Structure 1
Amino acid sequence: MNPKDLSRQELERIGFLAERRHGNFIDGAFCESRSGRVLPVIDPASELVVAETPDSDAADVDAAVAAARRALEDSPWSRTRPADRERILFRLSQLIEEHADELSAMETLQSGKLQGVARMIDVGFSAEFVRYMAGWATKLEGSTLQPSIPFPPGARYHSYTQREPVGVVAAVVPWNFPLAIALWKVAPALAAGCTVVLKPAPETPLTALRVAALALEAGLPAGVLNVVCGGGTAGAALCAHPGVDKVSFTGSTPTGRAIGHAAVERLARFTLELGGKSPMIVLPDADPVAAAAGAAMGIFFNQGQVCSASSRLYVHRSLFDTVIHEVARQAEAMRVGSGFDVTSQLGPVVSRRQFDRVMGYLEGAKREGASAVTGGARARDAGCFIQPTVLVNVKPEMTVVREEVFGPVLVAMPFDDVEDVIRQANDTPYGLAASVWSQDLSSVHRIVPRLKAGTVWVNTHNMLDANLPFGGYKQSGFGRDLGRAAVESYTEVKSVCMSV
């Protein structure tokens, strides 16, 4: 099913999309933007406008933050028991599963991703993650301490720590996994007792708005979760707002750097999950067939629009030709098409702007001397489709090797020496993820500690779990999403000391 062929009846089946114009979600209700401006939501497969959402400004942000502050301090949410927060989040996970058809259709329509990916990750993993975080609402704990305070002589003290919600959270999320990454931030914040203002990417706001309404249906009080749509104006106003206690951002490193500066200026807490240029290292004893399949999945999954994509492939020279030939064979066999077509294996990139950006990197790589084993061009006459691409004859100083492309573009380089490949893998401002492929666990254990990355996979790539912290070294971020580390990042630790 191509989005341009959707009938009114089919749009009504999708439900939320039957209304083409949507407002912000503030204080438990949809509302028009104070700015009066709108932004189009464009299906990247057909490049048709499928909806409109607000292009919010500072006044909209003020209203959302005020609603979140009231909910934090003056509503029943401030007195909600941990078990009640757990129940609400668990019910939200159920509602996400019950609305899987609607939510996955929205994700494909606004981002172009394959329906299988939308169902498995954006809906399926999101529901599992919310359920996981629901359990943390009743598991946050402090410690009892025995102090050694010597004054006054003979006095005794009892001390303990307790975790409290950090306050109002600004969650700013990207367009590559709109629903999943939104819930990476919203669920742990709610489990900790915080309130949230969520700003989705302007390209992909629909599922954020829908899940806010589902959260209200699950029992979340009005004002606890608010959604403000828009672009850079709304994002900047939200991250710099004095009523926001913590900012959690996923996106590009330049934007993250600006958000970090704004947060530090007013000493607000912040978590940043930023860009990557993740290396995949294939040692001489690796299974070349498995490594090739892993490389193809690692870079072409979600059209390469994954911050931890295996975008730099280093293969021992003895296996290089075999692995590259197999990756290229798999790339050439991929069917490029609409995410609604069940036979498609690669969808469009998210927007015309992203299409032009990726094509610019490909043209620059060719000018610098790289050659395409396969791909390297647009895949269709219409739509934002790019061929899955494998580049060789690349050098470490090339732009396509050093910068995050965020598209289906793999750069592949042979190596002879393990010491040299570790140096090359670490020779980047990023440090989000890496993978090592080998059948020799001794070699793996020697290499893993030397890779400057927040996550290292062995004989796999891009595998995430709700329980595993995810974040980067260096310019790939600050703090962690997922796991216990995530929920604790939405708390403050209070020390209590009493004379007994």
Structure 2
Amino acid sequence: MAINIINPATKSVYKSIEETDSAGLNAAVENAKSAFEIWRKTSAAERTQAMHRVADEIEACGAELAEIIVSEQGKPMAIAQMEVGGAAGWTRYNAELSLEPVVIEDSAERYVEEQRLPVGVVASITPWNWPLMIAVWHIMPALRAGCSVVIKPASTTPINTIKLAEIINKHTVPNLVQVVIGGGRAVGEPLVKHPDVKKLVFTGSTPVGKHLAQIAVADLKKVTLELGGNDAGIVLENADISKVAEKIYMTSFINMGQTCACLKRLYVHRSKYEALSDALTKIAAAQVVGNGMDEGVTFGPVQNEKQFNSVNAMIEEAKAAGAEVIQPSLPAGLNGYFIAPTLIKDPKHDMSVVCEEQFGPVLPIIPYDNLEEVMSHAIHKEFALGGSVWGEECPERDWVVEQLDSGTVWINNHAEVLPHIPFGGNKDSGMGVEFGQEGLLEYTVRKVVNRAK
């Protein structure tokens, strides 16, 4: 069956691609398994060199990859180019990581060391918001550890993943990364169930992640999950609005708000509420909304119709319940899934735009008077991916950092992820860790060698 890839800026068909059937899925896993037996025997130096060659070609194909990203995902060209650059940089970082044995004991009685072996064939399932970058986040530590990968990209954004796999297989060993195409039930679940798959790494929604983890644990596969978030930012009474407004906007609306670790709920001390709301309104109004291929565009469409409808429903619910919705007018002539960067003032805590993850270009701004009281709302019962506090150094700022229970807490920043800093969520926002040395170890199994003297 053919799957049509829709350009979200135009609603036209960008490309069509065949869904992977069961025979194709089995062949992909078998190919990856055979490639793993070759790749696992390569030296650390060989892997490093090969991965740098991959990074070189990602950069050489940067213009093509960026155009693919804009065409199937919708983000403005400048952000797509940033995604390509990040993909190359992340590849180079992982290429230089080490898995040398760790000596645990060297005494008169024994010599004990911990070794790390590649886990085997990895099943990677990626979302549509950062299709190239998240594929790299999954694949590159797997390759550095000595694993092979079968990746299922989102059905709405598979083309750049196919190109990435071609680049990798060209510079490593044939079939090391296999791409399968299709929906979760038709392709994703059978991939996770496959007996030759030894690890699942998934980025996406919490319900789907939990479901796939239940499948994976049936035969004790290793699992890494980066799931939903509803990140809160707390703006203190002593915050300098002129310093923080631009960064708050950027970390809330990056990629049109379609980022797991975006700032999604903003709690502002009442003394600074109107000033910050006004500053964010001006920044939002200055955005150039349109097709990401067009010069000067800074704000693209929502990626797909389902998400477009979901975000609009949240906005309309808030408006009907009496919240103030601040939404710039869209330029005439747009035909895609466009929503202008939207601010919602004075929403109630039980509105879906506050208590659920919007994953789109809308930010609720909630005033508060009492810091301790507002923390009871800021700390989400289910999600704990990221959180932030904004203001000058003071005991209140330290207290907020101490109270937030998310996997990452930022101070005067949000949504910053870096290749050398471990990243992962608490509660229903994830399981395991990505990035850095700790993230690399998720693609390995431990082997302890205990030698008596």
TM-score, normalising length: structure 2: 0.96
* Residue of structure 1 equivalent to 2:176: 224
**1:311-367 Cα distance to aligned partner (Å, 9 max, x none):** 101110000011001111211221110101121111011112221121122222223
Rounded to whole Å, the distance in 1 between the matches of 2:21 and 2:372 is: 51
Match of residue 62 from structure 1: 26
| Superimposed CA distance per residue, residues 146-184 of structure 1 (whole angstroms, 9 cap, x where no aligned partner) | 389xxxxxx944322100001110011000000000000
Deviation per CA, 1:197-220: give whole Å up to 9, x if none.
0111111111110011111222x1
Letter of the structure 2 residue corresponding to residue 59 of structure 1 = A
Q: For the residues of structure 2 that align with 1:428 and 1:252, how far apart are their CA atoms?
A: 16
Q: What one-letter code is carried by the residue in structure 2 that aligns with 1:124?
A: G
1:471 matched to which residue of 2? 424
Counterpart position of 1:206: 159
How far 1:145 sits from its partner (Å)?
3.2
Matched, 1:190 2:143: yes
C-alpha displacement of 1:376: 9.2
Distance 1:179 1:393 in 2: 37
- State the Cα distance separating 1:416 from its structure 2 match: 1.2
SS in 2 for 1:311: strand
* Cα offsets for 1:266-287 (capped at 9, x unmatched): 2111000011111111101111
| Equivalent in the alignment of 1:117 | 79
Separation in structure 2 between the aligned mates of residue 380 and residue 295 of structure 1, nearest angstrom:
30
1:142 to 2:71 alignment: no
Please say if 1:180 is aligned against 2:133. Answer: yes
Query: Per the alignment, do residues 311 and 377 of structure 1 end up closer, same or farther by CA in structure 2, a change over 3 Å counting?
Result: farther
Q: Any conservation in 1 of the 2:290–2:334 contact (CA below 8 Å)?
A: no
2:48 alignment partner, SS class: helix
Provide the C-alpha distance between the structure 2 equivalents of 1:453 and 1:377, rounded to a whole number of angstroms: 35
Counterpart contact for 1:68–1:168, Cα < 8 Å = yes
**In the alignment, structure 1 residue 90 sits paired with structure 2 residue 45:** no
Q: Report the secondary structure of 2:40's partner residue.
A: helix
8 Å Cα contact 2:323/2:347 also seen in 1: yes
Aligned-partner Cα distance in 1 for 2:306–2:79: 22
How far 1:78 sits from its partner (Å)? 2.7
Offset of residue 388 of structure 1: 1.1
Does 2:283 correspond to 1:321? no
**Quick check: 2:111–2:450 contact (8 Å CA) kept in 1?**
yes
**Does the CA-based 8 Å contact 2:289-2:330 persist in structure 1?**
no
Structure-2 residue corresponding to 1:72: 36
- Partner in structure 2 of residue 102 of structure 1: 64
**Is 1:128 matched with 2:89?**
yes
Contact in 2 for aligned 1:256/1:274 (Cα 8 Å): yes
CA distance in 2, matches of 1:163, 1:64: 26
Q: 1:286-317 CA deviation, whole Å, 9 max, x = no partner?
A: 11123221221122211110111111011100
Structure-2 residue corresponding to 1:412: 365
Where 2:149 maps in the other structure, the secondary structure is strand
CA distance in 1, matches of 2:253, 2:434: 23
Structure 2 match to 1:8: none
Residue aligning to 1:293: 246
Aligned equivalents of 2:163 and 2:220: distance in 1? 32
Q: Which amino acid aligns with 2:335?
A: A
Q: Give yes or no for contact 1:56–1:231 (8 Å, CA) kept in 2.
A: no
What per-residue deviation string (whole Å, max 9, x for no partner) do you get for residues 3-55 of structure 1?
A: xxxxxxxxxxxxxxxxxxxxxxxxxxxxxxxxxx1201111111111111222
* Amino acid in the other structure paired with 2:80: A
Q: State the AA in 2 paired with 1:129.
A: W
- Asked whether the equivalents of residues 169 and 175 of structure 2 are also in contact (C-alpha less than 8 Å), the reply is no
Q: Residue 175 of structure 2 aligns to which amino acid in structure 1?
A: G
1:453 corresponds to which residue? 406
In the TM superposition, residue 381 of structure 1 has moved relative to its aligned partner by 5.0
Q: Work out the CA distance in 2 between the residues paired with 1:379 and 1:472.
A: 40
Return the offset for 1:144. 2.3
**Residue 126 of structure 1, CA deviation:** 0.7
Question: Which residue of 2 is the match for residue 50 of structure 1?
Answer: 14
- Contact kept? 1:249, 1:256, Cα under 8 Å: yes
SS where residue 461 of structure 1 aligns? coil
Find the counterpart in structure 1 of residue 235 from structure 2. 282
Describe how 1:376-455 pairs up with structure 2 within 5 A: 381-455=334-408
Amino acid at match of 1:131: R
Question: For residues 72-113 of structure 1, what are the alpha-carbon distances to aligned partners after superposition, in whole Å with 9 as ceiling and x for unaligned?
Answer: 23x3x2320110000000111111111110000000000010
Partners of 1:173 and 1:200 within 8 A in 2:
yes
Give yes or no for contact 1:359–1:377 (8 Å, CA) kept in 2.
no
Task: Specify every segment of 5 or more residues in structure 2 that has no aligned partner in the other structure, as ranges.
Answer: none
Asked whether the 8 Å contact 1:376–1:388 carries over to 2, the reply is: no
State whether residues 62 and 84 of structure 2, in contact with CA within 8 Å, keep that contact through their aligned partners in structure 1: yes
Q: What secondary structure does 1:357 align onto?
A: helix
Q: Secondary structure at the match of 1:272?
A: strand
Gaps of 5+ in 1: 1-36, 149-154
Of residues 257, 273, 285, the one that matches 2:226 is 273
Q: What TM-score do you get using the length of structure 1 for normalisation?
A: 0.87
Distance 1:489 1:70, change over 3 A: same
SS at match of 2:230: coil
Further displaced range: 448-457 or 164-173: 448-457
Query: Quick one: distance in 2 between partners of 1:407 and 1:146?
Result: 51
Aligned-partner residue type, residue 90 of structure 2: F
Alignment RMSD (CA, Å): 1.8
Judged with a 3 Å threshold, the aligned counterparts in structure 2 of structure 1 residues 485 and 81 are, in CA distance, closer, same or farther, namely same
CA distance in 2, matches of 1:107, 1:481: 23
CA deviation vs aligned residue, 1:224-257 (integer Å, no higher than 9, x gap) = 1111111111111111211110000001111111
Equivalent residue for 2:5?
41
* Residue in 2 that maps onto 1:243: 196
Alignment pair present for 1:161 and 2:123:
no
Q: What secondary structure sits across from 1:350 in the alignment?
A: coil
Structure 2 letter corresponding to 1:96:
I
Write the distance in 2 (CA, Å) between the matches of 1:488 and 1:141: 11
Q: C-alpha separation between the residues in 1 aligned to 2:331 and 2:324?
A: 16
Aligned-pair CA distance for 1:423: 1.9
